[in-house]
Amino acid sequence: MSENLTKAQKRVYDYIVKFYKREGFYPSTREIALGLGFVSTNTVASHIAAIERRGWIERIPNKSRGFKLYKRDQSGNKKFYIPRKITPKDSSGLPKRQRQLFEFIVGYMQKTGVAPSYSEAAVAMGVCSSGYISVMCNSLIKKGFLKRDSRARTLVIVNKKKNVSIQ
């Protein structure tokens, strides 16, 4: 956070934050371009690169819509920032492995702001197949703990009040 953002960069950063608060997942470069009236997604990409160089965001490699956002706390220190609080449904009634998976997904989201991949969840759960994780996620969808969001090609944690995305 060594430098302040230009007006255009601030608009892009603010759009990313507002989009996440509204939708529960980060916008694509195309959605940012459409939302802010830019003609080219290259313009958005260059603004995002500049914002990243200045330390306000960090792109997460190999994660679709993968950002880490930062802002300054009251003492001026850089602080990781998730624009939306995750308050998931109570998972105590789930079978043990499903509860463990759901709690892992929620914890991962709270720490990183993005969702784990099926393979990351498989490693954390100590299973050798991401297909097993996929089946368990489908079961969590049927039980109302997760839902699919086709626009972001992601799963969404069903909150008590709102939805929060996982990828």
| Residues 77 and 23 occupy one common structural domain | yes
Other CB atoms closer than 10 Å to residue 119's CB: what's the count? 11
| Residues 73 and 101 occupy one common structural domain | no
Look at residue 90 and tell me if it is in a domain.
Answer: no
| Ramachandran quadrant class, 37 (left: phi over 0; alpha: psi -120 to 50; beta: rest) | left
- Least confident range of 3-12, 80-89, 116-125: 80-89
pLDDT, tens digit (0-9, with 9 covering 90-100), for 93-142:
889 999 999 889 888 877 777 778 888 889 999 988 888 988 998 888 88
Look at residue 48 and tell me if it is in a domain.
Answer: yes
Domain assignment of residue 112, given as a range: 96-166
Mean pLDDT over 21-47 rounds to: 89
Closest CA to 106 of 157, 46, 40: 157
Bridge partners (DSSP) listed for residue 148: 155
Closest CA to 159 of 68, 99, 90: 90
Which of 96 and 162 is assigned the larger pLDDT?
A: 96
| Residues 109 and 155 occupy one common structural domain | yes
Look at residue 89 and tell me if it is in a domain.
Answer: no
pLDDT value of position 31: 92
* CATH number of the CATH domain containing 58: 1.10.10.10
Look at residue 23 and tell me if it is in a domain.
Answer: yes
Which of 109 and 28 is assigned the larger pLDDT?
A: 28
| Residues 72 and 122 occupy one common structural domain | no
93 backbone dihedrals φ, ψ, rounded to 5°: -85, -5
b/e map 39-67, b = 16+ CB within 10 Å? eeeebbeebbebbeebebbeebeebebbb
| Residues 58 and 16 occupy one common structural domain | yes
